[in-house]
Structure 1
Amino acid sequence: MGIVVTLDVMLARRKMRSRELARQIGITEQNLSLLKSGKVKGVRFETLAAICAALDCQPGDLLVHEDDPAPAASGQFSPTAP
């Protein structure tokens, strides 16, 4: 799964709407929506810092690493311990 954006959770905790956050940090609501949904490949540190300042949080409150699920059996040889 990789990095998961939990911006929507922090917005709910702060009782703030996306529109208000977008206005405060100077980005479009559409770009903020893309970030919230995890459909972006990157985010500028400047933008991340502005979000953290507006929501009074740390980057780790907005981004979470989740392990990828184990790959399914593919029928390939896999060595096992004796």
Structure 2
Amino acid sequence: MPIIVDIDVMLARRKMAVGALADQVGITPANIAVLKNGRAKAVRFATLAALCETLDCQPGDLLRWEPEQGQDPAQDSHAGGAPR
């Protein structure tokens, strides 16, 4: 999936453990791991907001898009098209 989750980067910058983040955000360490490892299919805006508040960051500090290998962004069927 071309969405990369950089929670581990922000945890390192804040010198915070996964367990502490999970406690402050109100989700389980297992769910933090799912997000961190890129296995999540979705994230609630409320969870994203809590992560940003706890880590004192913006959503773009936690999420980024990278094209999949072999994918040309100019060939993306959504470029210039209607939003999904």
| Shorter-chain TM-score tier | 0.7 to 0.9
Distance 1:43 1:65 in 2: 15
Distance 1:28 1:13 in 2: 21
Match of 1:66 in 2: 66
Match of 1:2 in 2: 2
Q: Rg larger in 1 or in 2?
A: 1
Distance 1:28 1:62 in 2: 18
Match of 2:14 in 1: 14
Aligned residue pairs, count: 71
RMSD between superposed Cα atoms in Å: 1.0
1:49 and 2:49 matched: yes
Given the two structures, how large is their TM-score scaled by the length of structure 1? 0.83
Offset of residue 59 of structure 1: 0.3
Provide structure 1 residue ranges, at least 5 long, that are not aligned to the other structure.
Answer: 72-82
Offset of residue 69 of structure 1: 1.5
Offset of residue 70 of structure 1: 1.4
Provide the identity percentage: 58
